[in-house]
């Protein structure tokens, strides 16, 4: 890189930083410190790596190349395996910004910077539906981790098994306890013993 970057490079870099700041997965990773204490610096480093990739690679990287870069960095630096397809949208936006800023248009950059400014100071509320390795080896409980590639349908089936919700008092007056002190479980609308 030159010591004096081109104005289009500076504009593009601002846009990449803003786009990464509004990416919900990255926001959660930084907010929750998945990348360690320097998670925000890692996000900035990723933005710099993306800008360098565009400036130093011929032919210009496509959205698939940038998506793979995003997925790799998120896995390596933040210990996050992204399977929701969000990296694809981020990559397409970044490629679009590169094409715009190359001809002096900064409309996408302005859009993403505005969105990023609007999100500053706001916390992201998220529910983790996949094991992230931080719970001390409970990966065996998750059928949809690396050991099983059946798809998203498994996620929805696993959540009720992991979180047991107490029955509401309105649905049952009292628990029925057998002679050994065990609570009997009844199916919906049927009395089973």
Distance of alpha carbon 118 from alpha carbon 98, whole angstroms: 23
Going by C-alpha positions, the residue among 35, 38, 63, 39 that lies closest to residue 50 is 63
Distance of alpha carbon 73 from alpha carbon 83, whole angstroms: 14
Q: Please give the pLDDT value at position 3.
A: 53
Distance of alpha carbon 160 from alpha carbon 158, whole angstroms: 6
Place 120 in a pLDDT band, splitting at 50, 70 and 90: confident
Distance of alpha carbon 109 from alpha carbon 98, whole angstroms: 10
What is the mean pLDDT of the segment spanning 96-115? 92
Q: Please give the pLDDT value at position 130.
A: 53
**Helix axes 63-78 and 24-31, enclosed angle (nearest 10):** 20
Distance of alpha carbon 50 from alpha carbon 149, whole angstroms: 30
Q: Report yes or no: 119 and 23 within 8 Å, Cβ to Cβ.
A: no
Lowest mean pLDDT among 8-12, 34-38, 120-124, 168-172: 168-172
> Helix, strand or coil for residue 46?
helix
Lowest mean pLDDT among 41-45, 75-79, 137-141: 137-141
Place 34 in a pLDDT band, splitting at 50, 70 and 90: confident
Q: Please give the pLDDT value at position 186.
A: 63
Lowest mean pLDDT among 23-37, 46-60, 102-116, 156-170: 156-170
Q: Please give the pLDDT value at position 180.
A: 74
Q: What is the DSSP string of 71-114?
A: HHHHHHHH-----SSHHHHHHHHHHHHHHHHHTT--HHHHHHHH
Going by C-alpha positions, the residue among 50, 87, 84 that lies closest to residue 67 is 87
What is the mean pLDDT of the segment spanning 23-37? 88
Q: How confident is the model over 171-184, as pLDDT tens digits?
A: 445 666 777 777 66
Q: Please give the pLDDT value at position 141.
A: 33
Token pair belonging to 1: 């890189």
């Amino acid at each position: 890189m030159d010591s004096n970057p081109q104005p289009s490079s500076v504009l593009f870099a601002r846009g990449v930083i803003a786009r990464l700041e509004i990416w919900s997965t990255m926001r959660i990773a930084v907010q929750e410190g998945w990348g360690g204490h320097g998670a925000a610096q890692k996000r900035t480093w990723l933005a710099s790596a993306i800008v360098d990739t565009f400036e130093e690679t011929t032919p210009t990287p496509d959205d698939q190349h940038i998506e793979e870069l995003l997925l790799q960095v998120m896995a390596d630096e933040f210990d996050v395996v992204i399977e929701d397809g969000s990296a694809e949208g981020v990559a397409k936006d970044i490629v679009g910004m590169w094409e715009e800023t190359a001809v002096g248009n900064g409309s996408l950059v302005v859009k993403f910077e505005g969105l990023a400014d609007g999100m500053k100071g706001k916390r992201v509320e998220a529910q983790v539906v996949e094991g992230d390795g931080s719970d001390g080896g409970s990966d065996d409980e998750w059928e949809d981790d690396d050991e099983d590639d059946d798809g998203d349908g498994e996620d929805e089936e696993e959540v009720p098994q992991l979180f047991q919700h107490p029955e509401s008092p309105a649905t049952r007056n009292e628990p029925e306890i057998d002679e050994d002190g065990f609570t009997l479980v009844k199916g919906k609308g049927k009395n089973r013993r």
